[in-house]
Structure 1
């Protein structure tokens, strides 16, 4: 490894390591890609990414190859040893798994959903790792005020950003849309059941195989799609519907607003926080009525679109990066 770069004032720039092993994933991967790219664009710190050999990283990021299995004891040692060797000033864990390292740690905890898993061993693992992350980290970051309250610690809120490819377009509205995985807390069954009471429409499901819904009348299972196709689906949506029981942020809702799609969500606190008065927030038994209202009321739809576009401007990766960088600098 070469010498540390000097900034404009002649002092060595801070070296920040980031666990980027999940950079190709959905969810946390989206966070890592958006944040790391924006941090590099700010240009005043040096970044070291710990990631598999084939990882695609932003230009200018130093790459240290680490490919330990996720959620394993091995990763705690492998990532920790790599961090200790890299002469870092700060190590950023982008989710609640904090390695064994002597470097000061900043951790991002996106939500506490894993604490509510049905499997007791998974719940125990999540609680152990989250509690340890809060104890070991110099600072805890999270993505919404909702999760900050749940954490009950001195967490810094650094809201997620929206990639700039998510833009509105003047195109026909063709379908209702769901974007996300098919885990129990996403409550997709409630949406599909409610949709049976919404005539003359199509529901598109994106983000998981959704095999259990294949063959349902008027339900179009797309599974995993490219970013360009996702943008088009948002732009052509009568509404995005997110009936989640729990969320830490709800990035699809923010992306949909940026694309000019009306948004219907559950009353989950984080979704209400992120969408504000731009969305309709309803219980499961009112999902069908909300979809019908948005489909039939052009004035309501136009109001939701305008408010959503305005609200989406609050969520940029540059803002997330600036808030995160300020935390790095404070250590």
Structure 2
């Protein structure tokens, strides 16, 4: 049976796709990176929310798998076992071992995880565990997943070979095209893998979800697929991102991350080139030099990322001494207080597929200054100040106006809260279900 075959499990004549409960298999290989880790990036958080919403949706019978690699499958199995229900019973394995029970491979992965958590100490036992993994992984091969599905939806990774799935249609989510547009921001291996993701899309039979119209436009430049096969579905901020009214909570979070008393501007992101942080630091230093930001500090919240050396080099500017505070990784539960306490959120990113941090800030009622490029105008709209991310004078003027004008801050805060309400995970999943039904209707008509 091939993908797209309408004979696979056609709807009952009394139950059209408009009402039928949909059986969706999600590739959540990204979960494999979350074993015991608090350093979970934006993609992990998005995948986590989509899967959670799908499980809660009465129109969806959601199952999950991990087909991107044998390592991802074993790691995701371990993650689901650690998290427990509802993930554990919904996981479907797509790999099998020719030599050993998969439980043995999972046990080896547990030992490797414990070794990594301990700082990778040198020991004889660690050597044997690693050797066991590298020897055993070559015995793991792809295995067809039992059962048939309406939709197979990869939430990040490349679509798998056709014979391993019994489904009516395949969908993949593309969050951005940065590895193609700016390959210099990534390792060669990362660029090569992203090219594999795009190559895995069959333009004649597969379907794509993009998180913004901007990402869709970029995708159509690199994949020769009809626009009607690509659906724009916006993401959302987690419901925990809301204004914090408890001043003590804000004070405690500031103390936890070493942020001194006084007013501050905030930027939240992984410290990497496309976030344009050296540009932000130059603008902030310029304002400090002109005494335009008396008593105002800049807080950079986020873990160190790929090619972050130029950012740390910028921090050595003597004008910034004592006025810029890099917190490192900030846990999700502390971010709302950090957003709420800020005068404004400043995000001069060069490119975003969607732009979750500005939306998180808006959900907390924090005035936003961001770039007028890629998807950011689509998300922020008229609720923030938009600037050219290469124009220092424009960003300086925006920061100064927000710092100096309390009425402007109040107006931006109100507009931010109102606009943020348009983006919810519930509506995101409803849009997915509508898209799934359209796909299935189209497949049925073309059979």
TM-score range, shorter chain: 0.7 to 0.9
TM-score w.r.t. length of structure 2: 0.64
**Matches for 1:60-99 after TM superposition, within 5 Å:** 62-64=90-92, 81=143, 84-99=145-160
Would the alpha carbon gap of residues 57 and 263 (structure 1) be closer, same or farther in structure 2, given more than 3 Å must change? farther
TM-superposed CA distance for 1:323, in Å, is: 0.8
**Matches for 1:60-209 after TM superposition, within 5 Å:** 62-64=90-92, 81=143, 84-100=145-161, 101-102=164-165, 103=167, 104-115=169-180, 116-118=182-184, 122-133=190-201, 135=203, 138-152=206-220, 153-154=227-228, 155-170=230-245, 174-198=263-287, 199=293, 200-209=295-304
> How many residues were matched structurally?
314
Report which stretch shifted further, 102-111 or 209-218: 209-218
CA–CA separation in structure 1 for the residues paired with 2:232 and 2:141: 25
Q: Report what 1:6 is aligned to.
A: none
Query: Is the CA contact (8 Å cut-off) linking 1:242 and 1:266 kept in structure 2?
Result: yes
TM-superposed CA distance for 1:142, in Å, is: 0.7
2:404 pairs with 293, 296, 305, which one?
Answer: 296
- Structure 2's unaligned 5+ residue stretches are 1-14, 35-39, 66-75, 96-105, 110-136, 221-226, 251-261, 288-292, 441-447
2:45 pairs with 26, 30, 33, which one?
Answer: 30
Would the alpha carbon gap of residues 178 and 17 (structure 1) be closer, same or farther in structure 2, given more than 3 Å must change? same
TM-superposed CA distance for 1:96, in Å, is: 4.9
2:330 pairs with 225, 230, 248, which one?
Answer: 225
TM-superposed CA distance for 1:124, in Å, is: 4.7
CA–CA separation in structure 2 for the residues paired with 1:128 and 1:224: 30
Query: Is the CA contact (8 Å cut-off) linking 2:20 and 2:59 kept in structure 1?
Result: no
Query: Is the CA contact (8 Å cut-off) linking 1:105 and 1:136 kept in structure 2?
Result: no
Query: Is the CA contact (8 Å cut-off) linking 1:113 and 1:246 kept in structure 2?
Result: yes
Would the alpha carbon gap of residues 57 and 316 (structure 1) be closer, same or farther in structure 2, given more than 3 Å must change? farther
Q: Report what 1:249 is aligned to.
A: 354
Would the alpha carbon gap of residues 107 and 156 (structure 1) be closer, same or farther in structure 2, given more than 3 Å must change? same
Q: Report what 2:26 is aligned to.
A: 18
Query: Is the CA contact (8 Å cut-off) linking 2:339 and 2:364 kept in structure 1?
Result: yes
- Structure 1's unaligned 5+ residue stretches are 1-8, 70-74
Query: Is the CA contact (8 Å cut-off) linking 2:158 and 2:196 kept in structure 1?
Result: no
Report which stretch shifted further, 261-270 or 167-176: 167-176
TM-score w.r.t. length of structure 1: 0.85
Query: Is the CA contact (8 Å cut-off) linking 1:191 and 1:243 kept in structure 2?
Result: yes
Query: Is the CA contact (8 Å cut-off) linking 1:96 and 1:130 kept in structure 2?
Result: no
Indicate the SS of the match to 2:63. Answer: strand
Query: Is the CA contact (8 Å cut-off) linking 1:178 and 1:206 kept in structure 2?
Result: yes
CA–CA separation in structure 1 for the residues paired with 2:354 and 2:85: 25
TM-superposed CA distance for 1:40, in Å, is: 1.8
CA–CA separation in structure 1 for the residues paired with 2:361 and 2:85: 25
TM-superposed CA distance for 1:128, in Å, is: 4.1
Would the alpha carbon gap of residues 93 and 137 (structure 1) be closer, same or farther in structure 2, given more than 3 Å must change? farther
CA–CA separation in structure 2 for the residues paired with 1:21 and 1:129: 13
CA–CA separation in structure 2 for the residues paired with 1:131 and 1:183: 26
Q: Report what 2:370 is aligned to.
A: 265
* Higher Cα radius of gyration: 2
Would the alpha carbon gap of residues 177 and 57 (structure 1) be closer, same or farther in structure 2, given more than 3 Å must change? farther
TM-superposed CA distance for 1:45, in Å, is: 1.9
CA–CA separation in structure 2 for the residues paired with 1:80 and 1:156: 30
Q: Report what 1:59 is aligned to.
A: 86
CA–CA separation in structure 2 for the residues paired with 1:57 and 1:246: 37
Would the alpha carbon gap of residues 58 and 133 (structure 1) be closer, same or farther in structure 2, given more than 3 Å must change? farther
Q: Report what 1:3 is aligned to.
A: none
CA–CA separation in structure 1 for the residues paired with 2:84 and 2:173: 20
CA–CA separation in structure 2 for the residues paired with 1:79 and 1:27: 30
Q: Deviations over 1:71-122 (max 9, x none)?
A: xxxx9xx89635x335333211112521224333111111100102115664
